[in-house]
């Protein structure tokens, strides 16, 4: 439980805490602590509404034994620390459909929101292209996705953006480069990105992602085959 002085500072009261009597402190502390908790809960709910996460996926529910070639030792450090966010480290999960790439990306976003209160957005490449196409102010939308603390762009490689849409995606990733981290999930190894983007655009995007980035290969069977 937070001390009254911490609560006082957090709630930004202008009056001097030293002027409060001991009996007043005893009454105020639990009331104000509940307010801090309620405020934090409201903020978490707001962040979840803005995150684009439809169904919560937790890393604790990831079945590492089903696909043992997926390196738990390389992935779990991102869940245990926020250092990668502070250093703007990009993460690219590569692998065939159904191996759990989206689960890893979404659960990492959820972990950072729920445990650290860090804003994160998960969006599929298809939905991003659709939003950009319909946007009344495309530049405002580009800046929105370019500035969020964590962006998880899911399912890159399953849709083929037009040239201007590909350029918009590049602008988002480029603006984020070295400032805030980007998570990508894709079924394509880097040498195949030219199938989705023009060669020059693919090279430019990969160049930005490679800067302070880690490419993690996810091999194995589709989890959907378990059902």
Cα 78–chain centre separation:
11
CB 223 within 8 A of CB 66: yes
CB 187 within 8 A of CB 159: no
CB-based contacts of 135: which residues, under 8 Å, 6+ apart?
141
| Average pLDDT score, the chain | 90
pLDDT at 30: 76
| Rounded CA separation 180/182 (Å) | 7
Cα 227–chain centre separation:
28
Chain segment 166-213, per-residue pLDDT in tens: 999 999 999 999 999 999 999 999 999 999 999 999 999 999 999 999
CB 190 within 8 A of CB 156: no
The structure's pTM equals: 0.83
pLDDT at 14: 43
Tokens of 32: 């104000």
Chain segment 34-69, per-residue pLDDT in tens: 776 777 778 888 999 999 998 999 999 999 999 999
Q: How confident is the model at residue 226 (pLDDT cuts 50, 70, 90)?
A: low
Chain segment 72-90, per-residue pLDDT in tens: 999 999 999 999 999 999 9
Tokens of 141: 């939308």
Q: How confident is the model at residue 134 (pLDDT cuts 50, 70, 90)?
A: very high
| Rounded CA separation 180/148 (Å) | 8
End-to-end CA gap in the chain: 44
């Amino acid at each position: 439980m937070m001390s009254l002085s911490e609560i006082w500072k957090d709630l930004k009261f202008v009056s001097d805490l030293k002027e409060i009597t001991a009996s007043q402190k005893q009454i105020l502390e639990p009331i104000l602590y509940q307010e801090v908790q309620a405020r934090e809960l409201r903020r978490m709910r707001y962040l979840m509404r803005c995150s684009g996460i439809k169904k919560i996926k937790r890393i604790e529910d990831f079945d590492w034994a089903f696909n043992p070639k997926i390196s738990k030792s390389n992935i779990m450090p991102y869940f245990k620390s926020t250092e990668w966010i502070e250093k703007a480290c990009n993460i690219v999960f590569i692998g065939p459909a159904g191996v759990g790439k989206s689960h890893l990306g979404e659960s990492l976003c959820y972990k950072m929101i729920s445990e650290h209160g860090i804003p994160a957005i998960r969006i599929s490449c298809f939905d991003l292209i659709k939003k950009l196409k319909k946007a009344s102010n495309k530049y405002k939308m580009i800046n929105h996705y370019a500035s969020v603390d964590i962006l998880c762009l899911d399912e890159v490689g399953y849709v083929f953006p037009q040239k201007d849409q590909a350029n918009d995606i590049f602008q988002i990733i480029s603006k984020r480069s070295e400032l805030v981290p980007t998570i990508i999930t894709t079924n394509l190894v880097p040498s195949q990105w030219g199938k989705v983007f023009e060669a020059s655009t693919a090279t430019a995007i990969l160049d930005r992602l490679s800067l302070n980035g880690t490419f993690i290969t996810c091999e194995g069977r589709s989890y959907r085959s378990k059902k």
